[in-house]
Structure 1
Amino acid sequence: MEIKDNTFSRQFETQSEDGKLISVEYSFQERKIFLTKVNLPEAFDNEQFLTDFLKEIMAIAVERKLKVVPTHPKIASFFRKNPVYKELLPPGIRI
């Protein structure tokens, strides 16, 4: 999966299997990345693709030594389903 960090639009972007744009918007504050919004094409229902996309974003956060603050319900749900990534949450954040 190829991910583009579109710093101008402040979002991570990838293409779905049918070539449609999927993105996760973010903002930075100190050493934290706030994942604020998930943009999916209409009728998109491939949860596994979205999970794989979010795993790639978590790998980017680890590489950049960032803590992750999920502010979107789909991203919070990802953390609940994948407890291995809870170490990326800042102190005091519980999902």
Structure 2
Amino acid sequence: MEVTWRFLTNVQHTYDREKKLVEKYDVSSTGTGGGGGEYPLQDGFGWTNGVTLKMLDLICPQEKPCDSVPSTRPASLSATPTKTPSAATQ
């Protein structure tokens, strides 16, 4: 679950800062998109958006808000991802 939280925290931080989702995220640091590969980092990406929504649904089901499941979040991560489906589908 820690990798899930790190990924979602990066998605949230990037969205808060840039108002967009990007193709890749580096879970070893907070708030950064990933790099490397054959081409520059892309805005949005179907697979990344879908995985983000699935992870959010696994840890924050629609019938249960994210703040009701703090025991699944590592103490090292202070930010709680918020479910923003409109952001993930842009």
TM range (shorter): 0.3 to 0.5
- Higher helix fraction (1 or 2): 2
Per the normalisation by structure 1, the TM-score is: 0.35
- Higher strand fraction (1 or 2): 1
Per the normalisation by structure 2, the TM-score is: 0.36
